């Protein structure tokens, strides 16, 4: 028994040491997350990604000349980006983009460059003031930039354009919405706070019957000039400026709210939902696209966005299904179905009570 006890003790000790080493490695990986954020952000913002694409294959020295960087420093960055699967290759054979790197290229199909640009700059700085959100429950973004996000965007047109493009870049699931919800029977689809009309454009392309209204803040509607919703779909879609807290366009039989409710507290959501309920035709339907908060699903993306809503918007939050059901019920809706979409997004359908 003494021998067995000693053996077990030794085995447990060895196992504990290995677990401690693994835990230490995991903790370092967690704390070094900002290395990755800023490396990827610089690669997109500096033009490095576009330079790699244009060169085909190029050494760090050649790429440094192209973008005006120090050759040794850029070589270190490319080595790091290679470990992150953003580029492949080395100085011998030259660097080229991976599939991940292609998403950072300006002008590439499905480019997420603007998504990276705003997350690596404005949102990154806001997260640096996380303590403000945790002490006060308010938005760290407002603390850093002196105004709430939407007021800031209204005052900074270039950032507003980047933000709207970033929101579209984070929504490759738009193309699947029409296969989950059938818009063919709708006469008028109203997209409330629909941004530059990317989702509405997808719906109109795949469903030739309905007409549509794109409704958003005046400066956002101004930004839609020249975009598909104002060119390709001009004969089927009216672009209407306004404030969804005051009211929304009337007469629709389908109202869309895509990633809007998670930006606001319950009281504000109630005002938006009540306005939609009041405006829609009898028998109309409300389609909501949001992440639905769950626990124990092996992913931290939705939980992370729940924190992001606090940091950037203060009153914003992700909600679980029961919370959405309660919000909708209070505004006069019944939640009929919840269907999964990519990137942990869900399509919720509600009908008037």
SS3 label, residue 60: helix
Q: Which of 116, 162, 131 is nearest to 307 (CA)?
A: 131
Q: How far apart are CA 333 and CA 329, in angstroms?
A: 5
147-165 confidence digits (pLDDT tens): 999 999 999 999 998 998 8
Helices H, strands E: what count in the chain?
18, 9
Determine the pLDDT at residue 297.
61
Tally of CB atoms within 10 A around 157: 12
Q: Phi and psi of 294, rounded to 5°?
A: -135, 170
Farthest CA pair distance, the chain:
87
Q: Which of 322, 309, 328, 304 is nearest to 264 (CA)?
A: 309
Residue 134's pLDDT band, with cuts at 50, 70 and 90, is: very high
CATH code, 20-103: 1.10.10.10
Strands 345-352 and 285-291: antiparallel
Active site residues: 262
Pick the residue with more confidence: 58 or 167? 58
Burial class (CB in 10 A: 0-12, 13-18, 19+), 25: exposed
50 in Cβ contact with 106 (< 8 Å): yes
167 in Cβ contact with 116 (< 8 Å): no
Q: How far apart are CA 76 and CA 11, in angstroms?
A: 41
What percent of the chain is modeled with pLDDT above 90?
80
93-117 confidence digits (pLDDT tens): 999 999 999 999 998 888 999 999 9
Q: Where are the domains of the chain?
A: 20-103, 112-168, 171-352
In angstroms, the Cα distances linking 139 to 168, 210, 244, 246 are 23, 39, 21, 24
CA 343 to the chain's CA centroid: 9
SS3 label, residue 61: helix
224-240 confidence digits (pLDDT tens): 999 999 999 999 999 99
Structure tokens at 162: 């980047």
45-76 confidence digits (pLDDT tens): 999 999 999 998 999 999 999 999 999 999 99
Kindly report the pTM of this predicted structure.
Answer: 0.84
Asked whether the CA dihedral 137, 143, 147, 149 is positive or negative, the reply is negative
Q: Phi and psi of 341, rounded to 5°?
A: -130, 170
Q: How confident is the model over 32-49, as a mean pLDDT?
A: 96
Pick the residue with more confidence: 219 or 350? 350
Residue 255, beta-bridge partner list: 190, 286
User: Which CATH topology does 171-352 take?
Assistant: Rossmann fold (3.40.50)
């Amino acid at each position: 028994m003494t021998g067995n006890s000693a053996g077990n003790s030794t085995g447990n000790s060895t196992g504990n040491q290995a677990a401690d080493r693994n835990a230490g490695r995991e903790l370092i990986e967690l704390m070094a997350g900002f290395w990755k954020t800023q490396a990827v952000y610089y690669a997109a913002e500096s033009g490095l990604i576009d330079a790699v694409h244009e060169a085909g294959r190029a050494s760090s020295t050649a790429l440094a000349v192209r973008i005006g960087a120090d050759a040794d420093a850029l070589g270190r960055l490319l080595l790091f980006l290679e470990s992150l699967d953003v580029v492949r290759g080395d100085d011998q054979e030259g660097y080229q983009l991976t599939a991940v790197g292609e998403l950072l290229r300006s002008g590439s199909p499905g480019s997420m460059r603007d998504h990276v640009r705003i997350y690596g700059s404005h949102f990154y700085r806001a997260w640096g003031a996380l303590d403000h959100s945790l002490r006060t429950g308010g938005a760290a973004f407002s603390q850093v930039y002196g105004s709430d996000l939407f007021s800031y965007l209204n005052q900074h047109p270039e950032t507003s354009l980047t933000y709207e493009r970033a929101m579209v870049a984070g929504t490759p699931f738009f193309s699947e919405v029409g296969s989950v919800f059938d818009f063919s029977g709708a006469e008028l689809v109203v997209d409330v706070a629909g941004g530059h009309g990317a989702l509405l454009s997808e719906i109109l392309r795949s469903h030739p019957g309905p007409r549509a209204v794109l409704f958003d803040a005046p400066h956002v509607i101004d930004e839609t000039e020249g975009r598909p919703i104002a060119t390709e779909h001009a004969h089927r879609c009216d672009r209407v400026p306004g404030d969804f807290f005051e009211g929304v366009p009337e007469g629709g039989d389908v109202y869309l709210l895509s990633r809007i409710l998670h930006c606001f507290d319950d009281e504000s959501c109630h005002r938006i939902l009540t306005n939609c309920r009041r405006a829609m035709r009898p028998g109309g339907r409300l389609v909501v696209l949001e992440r639905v908060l769950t626990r124990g699903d092996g992913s931290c993306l939705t939980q992370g966005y729940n924190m992001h809503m606090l940091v950037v918007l203060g009153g914003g939050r992700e909600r679980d299904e029961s919370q959405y059901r309660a919000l909708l019920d209070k505004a006069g809706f019944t939640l009929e179905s919840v269907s999964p979409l990519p990137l942990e997004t869900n399509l919720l359908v509600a009908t008037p009570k």
